[in-house]
Amino acid sequence: MAAVSPSSHLSKAVRQQYMSLPQGETCQVTYVWIDGTGEGLRSKTRTLYSEPKSIEDIPEWNFDGSSTYQAEGSNSDMYLIPVCMFKDPFTLDPNKLVFCEVLKYNRLPAETNHRLSCSKVMEAVKEHCIWFGMEQEYTLLGVDGHPFGWPTNGYPAPQGPYYCGVGANNAYGRDIVECHYKACLYAGVKIYGTNAEVMPSQWEFQVGPCEGIEMGDHLWVARYLLHRVCEDFGVVATLDPKPMVGNWCGAGCHTNVSTKEMREKGGLQYIEQAIEKLSKKHAEHIRVYDPHGGKDNIRRLTGLHETSSIEDFSAGVANRGASIRIPRQVGQEKRGYFEDRRPAANCDPYTVTRSIAATCLLDTDEGENSK
Ligand code: ADP
Ligand code: MN
Ligand code: MN
Ligand code: MN
């Protein structure tokens, strides 16, 4: 049996009695932010005495950065700056989830806050109406760190039946996927779809198309919802790009990209131009496609298991072994979007979208230089 958390065994009937109590005019607002790992999410909740109608109605707040790997020295108070608001699918209307930027004591962005540098680049390329769609792959684990549903000793049957698989022998943990999908829709996250992945207990959801800075905002909130849904079921979702060594697929965060020019008739030439620019900055992109300068992605981008080698840049129509893939339909219609297959599952969507926008549409990535 998979190891699920003790909390998930607490009585849901008792919980329901309290959760259905009326709350009058009050509103619970849960502030969500990225911690000092650049990967972990944290949240805390406060009461407002009227329902906020827009992000401007949410006050700034603070937290103890010495407990989130974020504080500098003895100045441990960090600022939480609300940036976007969603409905809370756990405590329901009128309660809110608010995604926040983190600022240090001097009101400069915390080390793992890349939203500001991303939004500067998005502002600079605004005229191109750049759209992104990101494919978030993840793996379900028991609280003991063993893949969810895998035999305690040994392995499941080799890969083959699991991708988009159905049936109890192929799909491990679909409850989580379905509940997460509903939670995203309720919250207002632009979830695009979902599918089972090649490795058993590995899944994917996509977010998009989102314009500019919205991509990072929505993907981070979708990740928060995933971790919270998993918590309710007593299991863990890891974004490790290669959770199992051996003949098992890793987890990426393919990033689909288009500009207004690429989406219009004859747009393929703009896609080709963008790919040409990306080919000259392969190493720079690999450095920002996981939170550890490429070290996490080395384990995944081997050239096997539908990945390209981390060393080389390549591109091709319908080629899932290339760094950049032009979807077959886009090749046929000669317009649309391209897919950067290199970002790791644990990438920061702000740095990924910032560097793609900067390389393809500006001559420098100022965000990268300032960090
Ligand atoms: P794949 O075939 O690579 O598995 P998916 O169906 O999983 O592709 O994901 C496709 C992604 O492409 C979605 O996130 C979607 O939002 C995004 N997308 C679709 N059209 C565009 C577009 N014109 N520009 C950018 N992203 C797009
Ligand atoms: Mn996909
Ligand atoms: Mn996939
Ligand atoms: Mn893909």
Q: Which of 111, 132, 158 is the last residue of a domain?
A: 111
Q: How far apart are CA 34 and CA 32, in angstroms?
A: 7
Tell me if 350 CB under 6 Å of ligand 1: no
Q: Which of 111, 130, 148 is the last residue of a domain?
A: 111
List residues, by chain if needed, whose CB lies under 5 Å from ion ligand 3: 204
Segments forming the whole domain that contains residue 99:
6-111
Q: Which of 80, 111, 142 is the last residue of a domain?
A: 111
CATH number at residue 189: 3.30.590.10
Place of tokens 């009128």: 94
Distance 204 CA to ligand 2 centre (A): 7
Tell whether 116 is covered by a domain: no
DSSP state of 349: H
* Model-wide pTM > 0.75: yes
For residue 313, pLDDT over 90 is answered with yes
Tell whether 179 is covered by a domain: yes
87 and 178 both lie in a single domain: no
Cis check for the bond before 94: say yes or no (omega within 30 of 0). Answer: yes
Tell whether 247 is covered by a domain: yes
101 and 126 both lie in a single domain: no
Tell whether 207 is covered by a domain: yes
311 and 191 both lie in a single domain: yes
Tell whether 208 is covered by a domain: yes
247 and 325 both lie in a single domain: yes
Q: How far apart are CA 371 and CA 215, in angstroms?
A: 20
The ligand 1 atom nearest the CA atom of 254: 3
CATH number at residue 30: 3.10.20.70
53 and 194 both lie in a single domain: no
Tell me if 209 CB under 6 Å of ligand 1: yes
100 and 156 both lie in a single domain: no
Q: pLDDT, tens digit, for every residue of 186-217?
A: 999 999 999 999 999 999 999 999 999 999 99
Tell whether 46 is covered by a domain: yes
What region does 79 belong to: left with phi over 0, alpha with psi -120 to 50, or beta? beta
What region does 306 belong to: left with phi over 0, alpha with psi -120 to 50, or beta? left
Domain count, the chain: 2
What region does 145 belong to: left with phi over 0, alpha with psi -120 to 50, or beta? left
Q: Which of 96, 47, 329, 116 is nearest to 221 (CA)?
A: 96
Q: Which of 178, 184, 160 is nearest to 249 (CA)?
A: 160
Q: pLDDT, tens digit, for every residue of 223-275?
A: 999 999 999 999 999 999 999 999 999 999 999 999 999 999 999 999 999 99
